[in-house]
Structure 1
Amino acid sequence: MVHVSDVQNKPISGVVLSTRGDGSGGTKTDNAGKARIQLAIEDKSGNWVSLQIVQVLSKKDLVFISPWDRRAQIPPFENESDNFVPVVLAERGDKTMLENGKALLALAEKINAGNRPKFLKEQPSEEDRQQVLAEIAREHGLQPEEINEAIRS
C-alpha cells in the first residue's frame, strides 16, 4: 500500500505508481491518495524497491520529493493502518517546493548524494557541484540559483 500526497500533505488522486524492476503497475490512487502496487513474487517485507510514476490522470508533470531517491522499503504485509509507504510528489516547476521544509530537505539530500566522491580520496570540484545542482534543478523544473538560495536561507 502506498499513500501519495503533495508537499502540503494533501492526498493526490489518479496517480499510478509501479516498481522499476519485476512486478507490475499498481492501481490508481483514490481520493485519499491510497493505492496498491503489484510486487514481484519474490519480494518480501523489508526488501527495497525502486518506484516510478507510470501515469498521472490529471496530466500534471509530477516529480518525486519523498522518497527522494525513489527507493522504498516494503512494509509488513499485515493489514494494519501503519503498514504503508508514504510518497510525496510535486508538480515540476512548482515554486512551493522552495518554501517547504520537506521538499528542501529532499532537494538537499539529492544534491549531497550527487556530490559524494566516487572514490575514497576524491573530492568533487566546484564545477562538479554546480553540474549536480543544475541537473537536479532541471529535473524539478527550477533554477539552480533558486534552489541554492532556498537551501541557504
Structure 2
Amino acid sequence: MFDEIAERYDFLNRVLSMGIDHGWRRKTVQALIDSEGTEPKRVLDLATGTADLALAVAKRFPEAKVTGSDPSRNMLAIGEKKVAEAGAQVAAGDVKEDALEALAKEAEGSSGKIHVKKLNVADEAEVGAFVDWAYEAMGGLNGLVNNAGILRD
C-alpha cells in the first residue's frame, strides 16, 4: 500500500493530520533528550517512510548518527532523495537496476549524492561487497539500512 501512495504521502500526512504531524515530530525529537539532558548519539528510525523524522533528528542533533529503515521501496527512495537534498551521501542498493538509476538521476543537482549499485540482499557475499563498495565510495559509513522484505522457510 505505501509503495502505491509514496508520491502523495507527505501531502496526505499533512492534510489528514491537519498539520499536527509537525508537532508530533517536534515532540518526538525533544523526547530523545534523556532526563539528564544528554543528547542521543545514535537514532534508529524504524518505518522512516519519507524520512521526515530522521531529517528532523539529524537537524536537531547534528552529531548523532541517524539511520532510517522502511519496508516500502518507494517511500524509502523519496526519503533517500530528501537526505541527498539535505547534503548527505546515500548508498542505495537494489536488485532493480532501473529503479536505482532513476533514483540517482532524480537526485542529480542535490547538494548531496546518491551512490547506486545493484544488490541482492539474499546473497551474503554480495552484501559484504556492497558495504565495502559503499565505504569506499563515500569515504566511510555512519549507518546501514535494510528495507528488504525477504521471507525464507
TM-score of the alignment, normalized to the shorter chain, above 0.5:
no
Q: TM-score range by the shorter chain?
A: under 0.3
TM superposition score normalised by structure 1: 0.26
Between Structure 1 and Structure 2, the one with more strand by share is 1
Between Structure 1 and Structure 2, the one with more helix by share is 2
